[in-house]
Amino acid sequence: MTKNLVNPNNTDALEFIKKNHTNKPDKTMLILAGDCLIDYKGRARSLLDWGERVIMIKQDGTLLVHQPEMREPINWQPTGSKTEFKIKEDKLVLKSYIKKPPEKMKIKFRNIKFITAISLKDKAKLIISGMELDFVNQIINNPSIIEEGLRVVKREKPVKSGMIDLFCYDKNHTPVIIEVKRSLANISSVHQLRMYVKDTKKDVDKANVRGILCAPKIPDMVKHLLLDYGLEWIEVERKIMLPDDKQKTLKEFAE
């Protein structure tokens, strides 16, 4: 099922959505583009002023907001979110909400360019070879590996002294710089992170910027240095360590 509507007015848009998305027994995906204002309230608050974006509501309630540029969504709602549409003050309003974790997003449209309602079937699982599955990707897919409420905003963000692996915001809306090392963390990793935090403090003009060093193994000496500089660390648990081509398993030695 694929249904499209181009440049609709509010009433037609709402009717289309009700008919092809809300009232459909099969779950449908909804893609809209338009000039909108986004008010988000969860463990943090954010307001994205009027601008033209693409909104995607997936078949499981996941919602993504994509601006015309950059790879990552500028905002999102988690899987299981519920969506409601209505017209208020002559604007189409989309409300997405979820109880656990408690997150609410209100998207107001003053102009809709297109709406597509589509039902997609995809049960395929991504097959990834050992080298491709990056720990950085794992954090992006599941930021709660680092901590609850962490939101990844940008990957490979350039700053004066180099390139930040992951630029995030924590639940208190404090910027968080995450530096990922694939093997042993050493003293130069600490200095690198320290410089990134310093650069970011200048860029975002905020006194409070957190820095977290992630590595499979962090020697005590390096931990002490991190503490001295007011930085944090996370040692990756074995459970989510990268598949390691150089490590054999006991299965290879069984009869």
Partner 1 sequence: MFNAKVKSEVLKGIIDVVSPLVNEVKFNITPKGISLRAVDPAHVAMVDLEIKSDAFDEYKATNMELGIDMDKFASIIRLSTSNDMVNLEYDEDTNRLIIKIGNLVRKMGLIDTTGMPDPKMPNLNLPAKVVLKASELTQGVRASETVSDHLALTVNKDDFELFAEGDTDTVNLKLPKDLLLELDTNSKCKSLFSIDYFSNMIKPVRGDDPITIMIGNDNPIRVEFNIAENKGHVTYLLAPRIESE
Check binding of 252 to partner 1 (CB under 8 A): yes
Please pick, from the candidates 150, 210, 216, 226, the single residue that binds partner 1 as defined by CB under 8 A. Answer: 216
Dihedral Cα 38, 39, 42, 44, nearest 10 deg: 100
For the record, the structure tokens of 220 come out as 């005590």
Check binding of 255 to partner 1 (CB under 8 A): yes
Binding characters for partner 1, 180-199, by CB under 8 A (x = yes): ---xx---------------
Angle, CA 69 vertex, CA 63 and CA 73 arms, to 5°: 25
* Distance separating alpha carbons of residues 180 and 134, to the nearest angstrom: 10
* Distance separating alpha carbons of residues 10 and 153, to the nearest angstrom: 31
Please pick, from the candidates 163, 219, 227, 228, the single residue that binds partner 1 as defined by CB under 8 A. Answer: 219
Nearer to partner 1, 23 or 247 (CB): 247
Strands 232-235 and 210-215, by their bridges, are: parallel
Check binding of 129 to partner 1 (CB under 8 A): no
How far lies 236's CA from each of 43, 120, 168, 215, in Å? 25, 36, 18, 6
Region from 19-27, 53-61, 98-106, 246-254 binding partner 1, contact rule CB under 8 A = 246-254
Check binding of 131 to partner 1 (CB under 8 A): no
* Distance separating alpha carbons of residues 241 and 188, to the nearest angstrom: 22
We find the least distance from the C-beta atom of residue 84 to partner 1, in angstroms, to be 39
Please pick, from the candidates 217, 224, 227, 230, the single residue that binds partner 1 as defined by CB under 8 A. Answer: 217
We find the least distance from the C-beta atom of residue 244 to partner 1, in angstroms, to be 8
Nearer to partner 1, 90 or 252 (CB): 252
We find the least distance from the C-beta atom of residue 255 to partner 1, in angstroms, to be 6
Strands 45-57 and 210-215, by their bridges, are: unpaired
Q: Which residues contact 250 (CB under 8 A, 6 or more apart)?
A: none
Check binding of 238 to partner 1 (CB under 8 A): yes
Number of residues that bind partner 1 (CB under 8 A): 20
Check binding of 254 to partner 1 (CB under 8 A): yes
For the record, the structure tokens of 121 come out as 């079937």
CB 54 within 8 A of CB 31: yes
Please pick, from the candidates 221, 224, 227, 228, the single residue that binds partner 1 as defined by CB under 8 A. Answer: 221
Applying CB under 8 A, the residues found at the interface with partner 1 are 183-184, 216-217, 219, 221, 238-239, 241, 245-255
